[in-house]
Amino acid sequence: MKKTIPYKWELVIWLFIAFFFNQADRQIFNVLLLDIQTDLGLSSSQVGLVGTALLLVNGILLPVAGILGDKLSKKWIIVCALLLWSVATMLTGLSAGLPALILLRSVATGGGEAFYSPSANKLISENHSESTRATAISAHQTALYIGFIISGLIATQLAFYFGWRSAFFIFGACGVLLAALMAWRIKPDKSQNSGEPLGKLIGGGLRAFFTSPTAWLLAIALTGYQFSGQAMYVWGPAYLQKEFLLNPTRAAFDASFYPQMASIIGVFVGARIADRSVGKYKGIRVWMLIIGLVLGAPFFFLAGTATNEVIVCIALAGFGFFKGIYDSNTFASLYDVIEPRFRSMATSFILMFAYLLSCCSPWLLGELEPTIGLSGGMHLMGVVFLVASIPLFIALKFTLKKELKVNM
């Protein structure tokens, strides 16, 4: 008799592919940044502004995405979001200047992507128990890393042979096709709050998140993590091209392959440690976040002081591994202190907080590049990464244990 994949894991596979394109559509801009900058005659601060605006739009729309994810069908939110950002990605290939990039790349693409994570993570959480939740979320998270690697390699080759615009056309078209397939394969879901008045639902979600000291501390830590990480994503390929004179394909490979492959290892290591230990020690998920930040920070400094390609690749791999450790428990640690029916909103609130407060980092590195260089920017990001661990120590010491007793 033919064995079939349990639906809870088939769901993860489909969401993995969707998240792959979510991140791939972001990364193709980063790896082709210098090509786009040269072709459109933009300054470093202007191309940095495109990344900053995308994060800003994400942050503004995430609360709306969270509310809808707790109220409406998460399946259709995900499918519609995928369709929107894929069409916007295709149209980005027609951009002729900064206004078009901001409208199509930052507003339309960023707006579509904002609606994905709250519904996707909650849908996974609803279909997986505590014993497999972090592993399932981490498996989904690996799409981010693989998306960065593969999209960077494909996009640079497409740009070399057909121009940078072709990458946006092809990746966007693939996303449109995927949206149709997911509409067919993902089962309908019913919101736990479908009959609850919208005002009451919003009020309950706001109280669940904003009255949780641990949720606030997790949000502050995630802000520092995102501030450093987004700057690395946007400027990493350009840094390798400028500092080590690598061609775009080689720079895209180094900036994506080494950190993202290491992140895949890190995310599964962190997830399995947490899932195996959470029954005995409830604070293990927050410890995974701390380990990721404290041990990952030195690799920013190593990347900024590297004198050759080998050393910088080692630094990128080290950063990626501990980034994966952090990623493995980002949402699982939040869900430990938020009741299930408000988790989509809680996901949107923590991401909103992080994106809005960290969105200026790509622009900031572009502004600082003429004075301190991108290497100096790496050092600055390392400091932020390390400082982000402080609120997590506070949570372990003062707030987490009390809230776990209420919500576990």
Query: Could you report the per-residue pLDDT of 169-187, keeping only the tens digit for each?
Result: 999 999 999 999 999 999 8
Average pLDDT over every residue of 261-280: 90
pLDDT above 70: residue 405: no
The amino acid occupying position 148 is F
- Given the structure tokens 């002729």, which residue do they identify? 96
Measured distance CA(49)–CA(246) in Å, rounded = 24
pLDDT above 50: residue 332: yes
**Domains defined along the chain, listed by start:** 8-407 (1.20.1250.20)
pLDDT above 70: residue 195: no
Query: Could you report the per-residue pLDDT of 133-158, keeping only the tens digit for each?
Result: 778 888 888 888 888 888 888 998 99
Measured distance CA(405)–CA(45) in Å, rounded = 47
Residue 324: φ, ψ to 5°:
-65, -40
pLDDT above 60: residue 193: no
- Can you point out the beta strands (E) in 239-387? none
pLDDT above 90: residue 190: no
CA neighbor of 167 nearest in space, from 100, 281, 95, 89: 89
In whole angstroms, what separates CA 148 from the centre of its chain? 11
pLDDT of residue 188: 83
Instruction: Please provide the average confidence, as pLDDT, over all residues in the chain.
Output: 89
The lowest-confidence range among 27-36, 190-199, 278-287 is 190-199
Average pLDDT over every residue of 188-202: 69
pLDDT of residue 1: 44
The amino acid occupying position 258 is Y
pLDDT above 60: residue 321: yes
Quickly count: other Cβ atoms within 10 Å of residue 129's Cβ: 9
Average pLDDT over every residue of 382-403: 96
- C-beta separation of 331 from 222 below 8 A: no
pLDDT of residue 55: 82
Average pLDDT over every residue of 123-130: 81
pLDDT of residue 215: 96
- Give me the numbers of helices (H) and strands (E) for the chain, helices first please: 19, 0
Query: Could you report the per-residue pLDDT of 232-250, keeping only the tens digit for each?
Result: 888 888 899 988 989 888 9
Query: Could you report the per-residue pLDDT of 4-23, keeping only the tens digit for each?
Result: 888 888 999 999 999 999 88
CA distances from 324 to 32, 129, 177, 263 (A): 25, 22, 30, 4
pLDDT of residue 132: 78
Measured distance CA(36)–CA(274) in Å, rounded = 42
Average pLDDT over every residue of 53-79: 87
In whole angstroms, what separates CA 292 from the centre of its chain? 15
Contacts made by residues 8-12, CB under 8 angstroms, sequence distance 24+: 8/127, 8/128, 8/132, 8/136, 9/136, 10/185, 11/123, 11/124, 11/127, 11/186, 11/187, 12/124, 12/136, 12/139, 12/140
In the chain, the percentage of residues whose pLDDT exceeds 70 is: 96
Q: What is the distance between the terminal CA atoms of the chain, rounded to a whole angstrom?
A: 39
CA neighbor of 274 nearest in space, from 218, 343, 325, 220: 325
